[in-house]
Amino acid sequence: MEEEQSHSKIDQSPNNFSIAVDYDHKATEFRPFSLSSPHMRAFHLAWLSLFSCFFSTFAIPPLLEVIRKDLNLTQTDIGTAGIASFVGSIFSRLAMGPACDVFGPRVASATLSLLTAPVVLSTSLISSAKSFILVRFLIGFSLANFVASQFWMSSMFSGCTVGLANGFAAGWANVGSGVTQLVMPLVYTLFTTCFNIPSFISWRIAFIFPAIFQAATAILVLVYGQDLPDGNYKRKITNNQSENVLFNGLKNYRGWILGLTYGFCFGVELTTDNIIAAYFYNRFHVNIEMAGAIAASFGLANCVSRPVGGIVSDKMGKRFGMRGRLWSLWAVQTVAGLMCVLLGRVNTILASVLVMACFSLFVQAASGLTFGIVPFVSKRHDRKWWDFRRSYNTAPAIFRRIIKGQKLSLYQEDQEMSSTSNYSTPPCAACKFLRRKCLPSCVFAPYFPPEEPIKFTTVHKVFGASNVSKLLNEIQPHQREDAVNSLAYEAEARLKDPVYGCVGAISVLQRQVLRLQKELDATNADLMRYANNNNNNNNNFQYGRRMVNSGYYNYSSAWNNGISGGHNNIGTDNCDGGR
């Protein structure tokens, strides 16, 4: 499989970005209230563009009762139109993944929005049930921008922040389904009450606004957007590559299971967005403005609930592993199902609103929890596999007014390469851990070989891959091996002693050196004393020998003299006495 890729490169070093980036220039931090280019600007353009698509797609439901009366629609027509809307979104999402690969997320997203904006505008021209169903089918295509949004975030944000960026982008964009429930009835009422325009004309004029809004956001994406941190790109895929990706996706049973699970959270959410305003309008006989306001609260919860679901998934994953992610998804989605059942059983409007609010929080959080599991469905294939997952893994079955299939949008672009990869050499330990494609220019590869995964894991846990990459790029190549070894030693010491780290180990060694130095000094002192005592003993012994030798000689002379004199005296005395 061959791949040709062309980039419109912009010469940017990590220091040229206003936020921290890794060695691929992907952002390693997330600032949702910043407009810094290109990362955060791409984030805001992505969610705003998808926001406009949700706004347009769900602009019809809050005015459905007015449209139904004007076009004489039956409940069967309304139900069929709802199903057609989601069937259209599924078909478009199947094509959006490859389109992002070929044209880039910026062009693919903007093109789709510009193509579907006239369809939104044509809603004001429908006059029959068939045209109503057809328009809803075509408008549903715009929801494929969900794929482009997630693809774009994966291209701009590193693995440590892409989940958070995807969660916020999807959550804020889905708020559009709630805002339109509030705004469209107000626009309709404005024309009917303030300008005295007939009802059958007012609702048609109202659809001019979502069409203009969607086209305007598409133009903003084209003018100010950027596919990658370093510029825009194109990628060409061979037929063999596409067939291989499709085959690998279809045979992965985990993808089908997760797609069905996602359909039962996000699919239910979309179905509720379609019917909730009409539900309150018909059951509790509130006016169209009140029904729209109640329905808006359901969609507005996405601003918080979906990002929180992603955060909870990450926290549970860190503490309990994959089992924690799965159990948290099961618990939240079960509560959402119970709330959905309870919503149909309460009989007062206040209780219904409260139950609906709880239902919205849990069902939308389940969508965020699902995205915490998606990157772990398969690690056997490279980034093309994940592009396929964005395109083809969707809930296959659509249950009328209950569940709508939703394509799974994966939020991690770079995945680890396996032995079945196109590359003959295995990925380095760093790229394998970060689930990235290990390129020939990888700065980690020479120093973190695949057979030493613990070395990089330890360094990444303490210093972070982006910081290590910056350090290695700032020093000379011949110094990098020593730098990596020192980082590995410091990281290992820090994990063993979180308080003092390698300083503690150095202090211990210093104390040992001081103790050994004292022992050595004491030993040297003992040796000196022993040497001095030995010298003194030798000197005394030699002196004693000399004294002894000298005394022995004198005593011998005296003794000899004494004996001679004695003999003489004795002899004399004896002679005299004898005499």
**By CB neighbour count within 10 A (0-12 exposed, 13-18 middle, 19+ buried), where does 426 fall?**
middle
* Average pLDDT along the chain: 78
pLDDT of residue 24: 78
Q: Is 336:369 a contact under the CB 8 Å cutoff?
A: no
Q: What's the CA gap between 364 and 370, in Å, rounded?
A: 10
Q: Is the pLDDT of residue 535 over 90?
A: no
More confident residue, 134 or 231: 134
Q: Which pLDDT band, with edges at 50, 70 and 90, does 476 fall under?
A: confident
pLDDT of residue 544: 59
pLDDT of residue 209: 94
pLDDT of residue 501: 83
Pairing of strands 231-237, 3-9: antiparallel
Residues 522-538 have a mean pLDDT of 82
pLDDT of residue 4: 38
Tell me how far apart the 2 most distant CA atoms of the chain are, in Å.
Answer: 190
Residue range 63-94, pLDDT digits in tens? 988 999 899 999 889 888 888 887 888 778 87
pLDDT of residue 82: 83
Residue range 100-115, pLDDT digits in tens? 878 889 999 999 999 9
Residue range 245-296, pLDDT digits in tens? 556 666 777 777 877 887 788 888 888 888 888 888 888 888 888 888 888 8
- List Cβ<8 Å contacts ≥24 apart for 186-190: 186/289, 186/292, 188/63, 188/66, 188/288, 189/288, 189/289
The pTM (predicted TM-score) of the whole model is 0.61
pLDDT of residue 6: 41
Structure tokens at 434: 């970060």
Least confident of 174-178, 433-437, 452-456: 433-437
Q: What's the CA gap between 58 and 62, in Å, rounded?
A: 8
pLDDT of residue 49: 95
Q: Which pLDDT band, with edges at 50, 70 and 90, does 440 fall under?
A: confident
Q: Is 28:160 a contact under the CB 8 Å cutoff?
A: yes
Structure tokens at 59: 């602009």
Which domains are present in the chain?
38-232+253-388 (1.20.1250.20), 427-526 (no CATH)
240-to-325, 367, 371, 391, 437 alpha-carbon distances in Å: 35, 33, 29, 17, 20
